[in-house]
């Protein structure tokens, strides 16, 4: 009689499961690379976009945040779509959205097309952020799920490194053009530079789309749809036969238990608000909220601007950003090697501790220099035209006049920075920092059209208590005009080193563990929708921080943002230390059973 045991049913799958695992991780890693490019590409492009687009600080913040806003919308529906069409088709769809977004951004002229392209890029990122960790959690075994999901984060950080290297390349090009060409040629090259930076990010999207056609569907999704044999085949692609059969039997036991409960008349509609789901769901939401509230996305997006304001030159600030991304990348590798050995809880505790210390130190250093700022509001107000606009090129001579008007002679006009906070009626805006030592910097340009909302809906979003009609005729009022010293390069590199410390602790702890916490904590029946809701919270926090970063930094200083990041990370530390269970080495069904047992106790 022929042997038809499960171990021998699919010998080819048993022989090749390691190869299939490698392919799965490679494709999922390309998804992480795509997500990393999504997050990091704006960091290198932003200084040149800022110099040539004529957009205000508020509009630039919205362009940065548009990716995050798009993620909010797509994340909201990604769980439903993943359950409906499957995990693999949604990965394909997310890659296509990214590919389409690149030409829209790179060919855009004006705020509208640029915003739409970035929004579409964010929609792609939102899908990837949910479906790839979900797919990995459901496809990988408990022994390598931590390391496997770490590959997603590892290549995510590699995508940020790639984006930074592209940025530093164009920084060198810009510096060379600045030495050899006039202002018009330099302006034209900067305009082309940010467009080319986006074009170079296209290949990862194309590769990801192609790669999704070479992996199998999630076995747990297939089993949930009643396709047991296809689920078994999917398990055998990535596991030894014995392990595949054991996991399939575990799925069957969970399903049988639910069926027996229903047979005894105890069936309750499965929602996020059942007691056995509330604790893991709330934990996941708090972790996702705090993970972004560490400031990671804002620090990546505005890294070059932060380093410029800390005292580094344009070229050194770009190099500082490259080193930041490399530290993030290398420490992610360390986190990947430790996550299945030391556990998620340990890495989160150590990581959040380091983040708190580094953010407090950066905030204190910025606060020390920002205390020297001088408010030259009256002198800048005198420069407002009768048409209620302001055009101001911040040169050393202008800096000297502004400082003299405030009776300050301690700040060197040749090494000064200026940020203006202004309002039309109830609508307040802020410029980015401009430096007197940067001859190629665009002048400060404030107009009513760029500063007040164009519709009542936008006005409600910006300030629900302001009168839009009154703002359309209100004069331009300069609220603050801070002139401050540009710190020394040594101060800039000290800030950079502390940001590297932040990146290292984040990458080895929260960076690796957050995707695991998200996918592992959620029980199977609500995993996709629960992950979507938690990630929506994550993206809303990220979007809010990105939108307010530049205006808050202009008005209150960079120190305010870093102190805020440290405060949120304290909440993260408390959650990880006292409320988060260890999930190392447990199957998804075992983790679910732990919470179900706790709720029944």
243-to-14, 148, 232, 248, 379 alpha-carbon distances in Å: 11, 17, 11, 9, 75
When comparing pLDDT for 205 and 340, which is higher?
205
* Nearest alpha-carbon partner for 390 in 352, 344, 334, 446: 446
Q: Last residue of a domain, which of 202, 236, 263?
A: 263
Signed CA dihedral, 573, 578, 580, 582: sign only: positive
Identify the pLDDT of residue 3: 41
Helices of type H across 227-342 = 228-238, 241-263, 275-293, 296-301, 303-310, 314-339
Q: Specify if 399 maps to a domain.
A: no
What value does the mean pLDDT take over residues 537-565?
81
What digits encode the pLDDT tens for the residues 572-592? Answer: 999 988 887 776 666 666 666
Question: In terms of domains, do 87 and 226 share one?
Answer: no
Dist CA 588 CA 526 (whole Å): 12
Question: In terms of domains, do 345 and 318 share one?
Answer: yes
Q: Specify if 203 maps to a domain.
A: yes
What value does the mean pLDDT take over residues 183-194?
82
Tokens of 94: 């997310």
Identify the pLDDT of residue 11: 40
What digits encode the pLDDT tens for the residues 372-387? Answer: 889 999 999 999 999 9
What one-character DSSP code corresponds to residue 447? Answer: -
pLDDT band for 232, please (50, 70, 90 cuts).
confident
Identify the pLDDT of residue 103: 92
Dist CA 550 CA 23 (whole Å): 41
Q: Is residue 468 over pLDDT 90?
A: no
CATH number at residue 74: 1.20.1250.20
Mean model confidence pLDDT for the chain? 80
Dist CA 395 CA 399 (whole Å): 6
* Nearest alpha-carbon partner for 451 in 64, 116, 55: 55
What value does the mean pLDDT take over residues 85-94?
88
Identify the pLDDT of residue 297: 81
Q: Specify if 461 maps to a domain.
A: no
- Write down how long the chain is: 601
Question: In terms of domains, do 208 and 307 share one?
Answer: yes
Question: In terms of domains, do 229 and 302 share one?
Answer: no
Question: In terms of domains, do 58 and 188 share one?
Answer: yes
Q: Is residue 261 over pLDDT 60?
A: no
Q: How far is CA 97 from the centre of its chain?
A: 18
When comparing pLDDT for 350 and 137, which is higher?
350
In the beta sheet, which residues pair with residue 374? 483
**H or E element: which one contains 428?**
strand 427-430
Question: In terms of domains, do 102 and 249 share one?
Answer: no
Max mean pLDDT among 407-416, 448-457, 589-598 falls in 407-416
Q: Is residue 410 over pLDDT 60?
A: yes
- Domain extent for 197: 9-215+272-368+491-600
Dist CA 46 CA 198 (whole Å): 11
Angle at alpha carbon of residue 548, lines to 542 and 554, rounded to 5°: 140
When comparing pLDDT for 186 and 393, which is higher?
393
When comparing pLDDT for 482 and 313, which is higher?
482
Q: Specify if 396 maps to a domain.
A: no
Question: In terms of domains, do 106 and 147 share one?
Answer: yes
Identify the pLDDT of residue 303: 84
Question: In terms of domains, do 62 and 147 share one?
Answer: yes
Question: In terms of domains, do 173 and 322 share one?
Answer: yes
Q: Specify if 149 maps to a domain.
A: yes
Signed CA dihedral, 96, 107, 391, 559: sign only: positive
Dist CA 63 CA 191 (whole Å): 16
Tokens of 548: 């307010």
Identify the pLDDT of residue 431: 79
3-state secondary structure 540-562: HHHHHHHHHHHHHHHHHCHHHHH
Question: In terms of domains, do 78 and 118 share one?
Answer: yes
Question: In terms of domains, do 196 and 224 share one?
Answer: no
Q: Last residue of a domain, which of 263, 296, 328?
A: 263
Identify the pLDDT of residue 245: 78
Identify the pLDDT of residue 5: 37
Question: In terms of domains, do 203 and 234 share one?
Answer: no
What digits encode the pLDDT tens for the residues 386-408? Answer: 999 999 999 999 999 999 998 88
Q: Specify if 473 maps to a domain.
A: no
Lowest mean pLDDT among 293-307, 427-441, 553-567, 575-589: 575-589
In the beta sheet, which residues pair with residue 535? none
In the beta sheet, which residues pair with residue 484? 417
Phi, psi of 340 (to 5 degrees): -90, -5
What digits encode the pLDDT tens for the residues 51-66? Answer: 777 776 667 777 877 7
Counted domains in the chain? 2
Q: Is residue 275 over pLDDT 80?
A: no
Q: Last residue of a domain, which of 204, 229, 263?
A: 263
Q: How far is CA 80 from the centre of its chain?
A: 22
Dist CA 362 CA 55 (whole Å): 28
Q: How far is CA 129 from the centre of its chain?
A: 10
Q: Specify if 28 maps to a domain.
A: yes
User: Model's pTM, two decimal places?
Assistant: 0.68
Q: Specify if 406 maps to a domain.
A: no
pLDDT band for 15, please (50, 70, 90 cuts).
very low
In the beta sheet, which residues pair with residue 444? 392
Three-class SS state of 417: strand
CB 30 within 8 A of CB 132: no
What value does the mean pLDDT take over residues 24-30?
79
Dist CA 108 CA 105 (whole Å): 5
Lowest mean pLDDT among 124-128, 407-411, 421-425, 583-587: 583-587
Identify the pLDDT of residue 498: 96
When comparing pLDDT for 379 and 263, which is higher?
379
Dist CA 136 CA 146 (whole Å): 10
């Amino acid at each position: 009689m022929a042997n038809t045991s499960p171990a021998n049913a699919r010998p080819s799958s048993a022989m090749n499961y390691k190869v299939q695992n490698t392919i799965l991780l490679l494709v999922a890693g390309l998804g992480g690379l795509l997500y990393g490019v999504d997050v990091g590409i704006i960091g290198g492009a932003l200084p040149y976009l800022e110099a040539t687009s004529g957009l205000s600080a508020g509009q630039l913040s919205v362009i940065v945040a548009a990716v995050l806003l798009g993620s909010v919308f797509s994340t909201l529906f990604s769980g439903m779509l993943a359950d409906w069409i499957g995990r693999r088709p949604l990965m394909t769809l997310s890659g296509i959205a990214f590919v389409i977004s690149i030409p829209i951004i790179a060919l855009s002229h004006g705020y509208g097309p640029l915003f739409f392209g970035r929004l579409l890029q964010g929609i792609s990122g939102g899908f990837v952020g949910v479906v790839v960790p979900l797919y990995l959690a459901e496809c990988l075994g408990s022994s390598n799920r931590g390391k496997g999901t770490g590959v997603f984060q590892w290549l995510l950080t590699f995508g940020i490194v790639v984006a930074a290297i592209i940025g530093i390349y164009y920084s060198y090009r810009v510096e060379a053009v600045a030495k050899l060409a006039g202002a018009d040629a330099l302006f034209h090259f900067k305009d082309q530079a940010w467009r080319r930076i986006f074009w170079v990010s296209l290949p990862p999207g194309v590769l990801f789309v192609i790669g999704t056609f070479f992996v199998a569907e999630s076995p747990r999704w297939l089993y949930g749809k009643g396709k047991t044999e296809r689920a078994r085949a999917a398990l055998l692609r990535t596991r030894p036969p014995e392990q595949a059969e054991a996991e399939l039997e575990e799925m069957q036991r969970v399903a049988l238990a639910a069926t027996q409960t229903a047979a005894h008349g105890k069936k309750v509609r499965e929602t996020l608000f059942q007691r056995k789901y509330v604790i893991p769901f709330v934990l996941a939401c708090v972790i996702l909220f705090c993970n972004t509230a560490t400031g990671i996305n804002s620090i990546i997006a505005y890294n070059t601007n932060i380093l410029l304001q800390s005292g580094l030159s344009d070229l050194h600030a770009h190099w500082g950003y490259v080193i930041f991304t490399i530290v993030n990348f290398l420490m992610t590798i360390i986190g990947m090697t430790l996550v299945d050995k030391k556990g998620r809880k340990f890495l989160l505790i150590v990581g959040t501790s380091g983040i708190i210390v580094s953010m407090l130190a950066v905030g204190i250093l910025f606060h020390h220099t920002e205390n020297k700022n001088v408010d030259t509001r009256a002198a800048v107000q005198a420069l407002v035209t009768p048409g209620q606009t302001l055009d101001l090129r911040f040169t050393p001579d202008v800096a000297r006049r502004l400082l003299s008007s405030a009776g300050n002679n301690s700040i060197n006009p040749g090494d000064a920075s200026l940020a203006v906070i202004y309002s039309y009626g109830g609508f307040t805006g802020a410029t980015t920092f401009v430096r007197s030592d940067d001859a190629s910097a665009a002048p400060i340009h404030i107009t009513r059209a760029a500063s007040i909302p164009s519709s009542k809906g936008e006005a409600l979003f910006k300030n629900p208590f302001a009168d839009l009609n009154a703002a359309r005729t209100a004069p331009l009022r300069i609220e603050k005009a801070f002139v401050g010293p540009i710190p020394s390069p040594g101060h800039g590199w000290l800030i950079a080193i502390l940001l590297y410390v932040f990146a290292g602790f984040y990458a080895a702890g929260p960076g690796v563990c957050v995707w695991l916490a998200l996918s592992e904590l959620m029980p199977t029946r609500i995993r996709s929708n629960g992950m979507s809701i938690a990630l929506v919270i994550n993206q809303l926090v990220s979007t809010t921080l990105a939108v307010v970063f530049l205006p808050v930094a202009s008005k209150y200083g960079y120190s305010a943002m870093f102190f805020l990041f440290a405060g949120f990370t304290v909440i993260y530390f408390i959650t990880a230390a006292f409320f988060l269970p260890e999930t190392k080495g447990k199957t998804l069904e075992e983790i679910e059973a732990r919470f179900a047992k706790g709720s029944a106790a």
